[in-house]
Amino acid sequence: MNIFDHHLTEIKNLILSNKDFLNLDQIDGFKGVNLEIPPEKFNFDLSCNAAMVIGKKNKVDPKHLALRLQEIFLKKIKNFSDIEIAGPGFLNIKLSKLALINNINLILENKKTYGSTKKNSTYNIEFVSANPTGPMHVGHCRGAIYGDVLANLLKFNGNKVTKEYYVNDYGNQIKNFVESVYLRIIEIKYKSKFPKNKNLYPGNYIKDIAKKIIKNNSKNDFKNFENNFDFLKKESLKASMELIKKDLQLLGITHDSFFSESDIVNKDLVSEAVRKLKKKKFVTEGFLQPPKGELNKNWKKIKRLIFRSTLYGDDTDRALQKNDGSWTYFANDVAYHMNKINRNYKNLVNILGADHTGYIKRITAAVSALSDKKIKLNCKVCQLVKLYKNGEPFKMSKRAGEFISAQDLLNEVEKDQIRFMMLNRSNDVELDFDFDKVKEKTKDNPVFYVQYAYARINSILRTLNLNLFTKAKINKEHFELNNMEKKIIRKVFEWPKILESASRQFDLHKIPFYLYELSTLFHAYWSKGNEDDNYKFIENKKIKRDEILIIINLVAIVIQNGMGILGVSLPQKM
């Protein structure tokens, strides 16, 4: 149960039904009216800004309006036991004892789904999609984890999600990759020196792929590149994708679907997409202006097919053909997204790297044009990751060639630490990944602190010889919460609001941040018991108060659900 949504609906309905009594003309759909948790110093459960927002629109004194709302709410909403007017007109609300008990019982009864927003839609989330020319690098890790956790969150909310990987297995980069493997085979098999060429891939993993191909095809004659190209392409890509899938699995990630760019070319899906856009008059034949900064003498004015992406807010129209008449990479991507639309997903999501920001408008425009604005493409960019150790930028070995591989990162820290910390900041800002911090067993290490809260809960239950989620008794007459328990309960009640907010804008960093705050409150309560006997959890190997067992259960429920969404393990002992 989301008490914020529930009570905000009650508040809105009461304001509407008492509109004349309140002398209100302008409601404007309650735009800007919300229900939040007030600052801790007020010691209230909820805070509403309705008097200020609606008062301003109607040119009514907010405090005067707040007094009238206070009267109506206390009279009509049985779950409100006290309302205080604070500051310029905030309504700080205290929930009744019965309201607290009922909400706690609902959480305990629906522990596995607590926080879910209960949506029912379909999503295709394309993420990672690293070029299959080698292993994943550190930059891919952030987007990979972001995409996987987003899928987990949407599934938790009741949606059907397909996690997809777009395999860029067509074009010059693939030719260079296959040639690199071929030349390593020649080097190994025929002692020919590997040439120095900027277009070739130098990493040691290329040697590993070459050795694997030789071992599995010892009788093959590899002397002619052209004759062996198709075979080598197939085997090289297979080996490279195995490396990528292995790295992903080590990060706890598996995809549901792998879509090949070569299939787009072989099935001529681009021509189909262009015909569809032509029919809608979104493709024209004409000339593009030179790119900004391009010298006119180097620019060839060639007639080509152009997608009119400016009709959908793009900065410029986009070429679908290269100078030689072949399709552009963008044209292939348009065809791929047409295929997604044809697979009847209601929502498309692309998780992109930091270097793809400028690509968003054109591909979003293409999806709008192809779907008649019925399908929305949501693109999220994951910014760069900077590695630090001992306070200094950390350079790991580059066995992969010119980049630091995901395997290098996994050799330094565990999967749980990587997954949690890669989401600890908003995806649209650069992330500093500090190896020292994520290995600490202190409050300064968020993932440790959350895991430790769960382990501490299990330790308490072992002492009491109880299982997790043992049903706690709630005595309605004697139910009382101390100040620490009130803080924790309010934080637990906030969980559905956090998930709703994270789901709306895909702000996944809100989840680990919230879990850390909740765990900090729990640890503070535990520590207070060491200072004051009134706050002790256990006395003579028995729980001191039933309310403590309730708190333990609630915190465990939220941590389990939250870390489950993040894909981070929860050890029972630490």
Q: What is the CATH number of the domain that holds 500?
A: 1.10.730.10
Q: Which of 539, 507, 503 is nearest to 159 (CA)?
A: 503
Inside any domain, residue 376:
yes
Q: Are residues 84 and 179 in the same domain?
A: no
The last residue of one of the domains, among 382, 398, 422, is: 382
Q: Are residues 163 and 265 in the same domain?
A: yes
Inside any domain, residue 390:
no
Q: Are residues 141 and 260 in the same domain?
A: yes
Q: Which long-range contacts (CB under 8 A, 24 or more apart) does 297-303 make?
A: none
Whole-number Å distance between alpha carbons of 72 and 65: 11
Q: Is 506 exposed, middle or buried (0-12, 13-18, 19+ CB in 10 A)?
A: middle
Q: What angle (nearest 5°) sits at the alpha carbon of residue 443, between those of residues 441 and 444?
A: 90
Provide the residue range defining the domain that includes 276: 122-167+255-382
Per-residue model confidence as pLDDT tens digits over 292-341: 665 566 667 789 999 999 999 999 999 999 989 999 999 999 999 999 99
Structure tokens at 124: 């295709």
Given a cut of 80, is residue 530 above it in pLDDT?
A: yes
Per-residue model confidence as pLDDT tens digits over 543-568: 999 999 999 999 999 999 999 999 99
Element (DSSP H or E) covering residue 538: strand 538-539
What lies within 8 Å, CB to CB, of 262 at 6+ separation is 167, 169, 170
Q: Are residues 16 and 33 in the same domain?
A: yes
Query: What average pLDDT does this structure show over 231-237?
Result: 96
Inside any domain, residue 115:
no
Inside any domain, residue 275:
yes
Structure tokens at 519: 């765990």
Q: Are residues 144 and 289 in the same domain?
A: yes
Inside any domain, residue 401:
no
Q: Are residues 505 and 375 in the same domain?
A: no
Q: Which pLDDT does position 145 carry in this prediction?
A: 98
Q: Are residues 525 and 472 in the same domain?
A: yes
Q: Are residues 160 and 260 in the same domain?
A: yes
Whole-number Å distance between alpha carbons of 175 and 229: 9
The angle that helices 546-566 and 97-109 make with each other, rounded to 10 degrees, is: 50
Q: Are residues 219 and 130 in the same domain?
A: no
- The one-letter code for the residue type at 94 is K
Given a cut of 90, is residue 483 above it in pLDDT?
A: yes
Given a cut of 60, is residue 527 above it in pLDDT?
A: yes
Residues, the chain? 574
Q: Are residues 486 and 553 in the same domain?
A: yes
Handedness of CA 193, 195, 200, 202 (dihedral sign): positive
Q: How many domains does the chain have?
A: 4
Q: Are 422 and 223 in contact (CB under 8 A)?
A: no
Q: Are residues 89 and 19 in the same domain?
A: yes
Inside any domain, residue 290:
yes
Q: Are residues 163 and 179 in the same domain?
A: no
